[in-house]
Amino acid sequence: MAGGVSVELDRLLVQFDEFVAVRDANVRIEPGEFFSFLGPSGCGKTTILRTISGFLEPTSGAVRIDGKDMAFIGPNKRPTALIFQNLALFPLMTVWENIAFALEMKGVGAADRRKHADELLALIALDGQGDKYVHELSGGQKQRVAIARALCAEPSVLLLDEPLSALDLKLRQHMRTELRTIQRRVGLTFIYITHDQGEALTMSDHVAVMREGVIEQIGDGRTIYDDPATAFVASFVGENNALPGRVAEIRDGVALVDTSVGRLRARIATAARDRLRTDAEAIVFIRPEALDLDIAGASAETTIQATVIGEEFEGPNMHLQLRHDGGAELRVSLVNKGRTGTAGIGSSLAAAFDPMKAVALPSGALSAEE
């Protein structure tokens, strides 16, 4: 295997007629890293992938792979291999012919191709299945054949365009682990495109969250989840309760925000430290799991009084739907520790949170999926 190399996007702009698909993207992906672009459909993540693989030329800016500018180098000449969303396996070829296609294009003889294909079949645990046709394989097996076919081209960078989206939930979770294992074993740079934040967080070393062609934040999974840079990231990645209001006071990186449920205390997101001012519009984000019914030690600024309007018991967790008198609705997730949660629908209760786990961010667009 060739080993991973770095990929750099330098002030990348990709435009289709009037429509700007990707605006001013600056990313550095380290060699051997598992990097994800995460965002809703139409956010420009596929455009980025196609630009890296060479199917699109940037309108301005540059793609550099291993430090080399890739301008006007075709997809068949780049050290990248792309795994398509629908896999695009060749239906008229056997599995081994699919896998060895890149070698065939290099003019390698049939015996060597077969040998190499068999090695890769062993890597993806499909030994002895080389003579089957693609339609005879299961969804997960096709997935692995697509990966082997791409690896056979000996790329330095593997590009994956939502390859798991067609699989059912169980298989998808299994393939996440498997992809990560393969990536560690072959040591290549993986660039992964997804709209599924669970996939991005579990597999990636770093994630870039995109919205409408703009990268809103780059960070590891924990940073993206716990310290979002924008209101969009906070609402798109994971579940979040968004409580809009106005900043009353700022002290030591903590803001007091007047919201419809009262004055709330919340830590200001790292990326917003310089931007959030007193009297500015802000949103306080509190994760469902950051809210608890145990209010010992909580102050008025970290407590919300509300009525229970819904309960879902899931097993390990219990989810509550609450409504404040002012109309705001909240979701609370409680870990099942064997106690009964509430006095039932219609009852009134107080939910409290740790102000360091609530995040204050300047007002901005929220995810449409909320």
Can you give the binding site for another protein, defined by CB under 8 A?
A: 53-55, 74-76, 80-82, 84-86, 88-90, 92, 101-102, 104-106, 149-150, 152-153
Q: Residue 309 is which amino acid?
A: I
Please identify, using beta-carbon distances, which residue of 153 and 210 lies nearer to another protein: 153
CA distances from 336 to 124, 283, 289, 310, 314 (A): 39, 29, 12, 17, 9
Please identify, using beta-carbon distances, which residue of 152 and 200 lies nearer to another protein: 152
CA dist., res. 13 & res. 140, Å (int): 35
Joined together, the tokens standing for residue 59 give 């309108």
> In the bound complex, what is the minimum distance in angstroms from residue 83's beta carbon to another protein?
9
> In the bound complex, what is the minimum distance in angstroms from residue 91's beta carbon to another protein?
8
Q: Are 83 and 146 in contact (CB under 8 A)?
A: yes
> In the bound complex, what is the minimum distance in angstroms from residue 92's beta carbon to another protein?
5
* Alpha helices (runs of H) in 187-325, residue ranges in sequence order: 197-203, 221-226, 231-236
> In the bound complex, what is the minimum distance in angstroms from residue 133's beta carbon to another protein?
13
Q: Is the dihedral of CA 72, 76, 78, 84 positive or negative?
A: positive
Please identify, using beta-carbon distances, which residue of 84 and 205 lies nearer to another protein: 84
CA dist., res. 102 & res. 106, Å (int): 6
Q: Where are the beta strands (DSSP E) in 110-188?
A: 157-161
CA dist., res. 212 & res. 116, Å (int): 42
> In the bound complex, what is the minimum distance in angstroms from residue 46's beta carbon to another protein?
12
Largest CA distance in the chain: 76
> In the bound complex, what is the minimum distance in angstroms from residue 204's beta carbon to another protein?
22
> In the bound complex, what is the minimum distance in angstroms from residue 37's beta carbon to another protein?
18
Any idea what DSSP says for residue 327? S
Please identify, using beta-carbon distances, which residue of 43 and 153 lies nearer to another protein: 153
Question: What angle do helix axes 139-152 and 110-123 make, rounded to 10 degrees?
Answer: 130
> In the bound complex, what is the minimum distance in angstroms from residue 153's beta carbon to another protein?
5
Burial 45-82 (b: 16+ CB within 10 A, else e): bbbbbbbbbbebebeebebbbeeeebeeeeeeebbbbb
Please identify, using beta-carbon distances, which residue of 149 and 265 lies nearer to another protein: 149
CA dist., res. 337 & res. 97, Å (int): 54
> In the bound complex, what is the minimum distance in angstroms from residue 104's beta carbon to another protein?
8
Please identify, using beta-carbon distances, which residue of 93 and 328 lies nearer to another protein: 93
Please identify, using beta-carbon distances, which residue of 42 and 75 lies nearer to another protein: 75
Please identify, using beta-carbon distances, which residue of 54 and 288 lies nearer to another protein: 54
For residue 284, the cross-strand partners are: 243, 360
CA distances from 118 to 108, 111, 287 (A): 15, 11, 48
Q: Name the residue among 333, 251, 242, 313 with its Cα closest to residue 281.
A: 242
Please identify, using beta-carbon distances, which residue of 81 and 233 lies nearer to another protein: 81
Q: Are 316 and 276 in contact (CB under 8 A)?
A: no
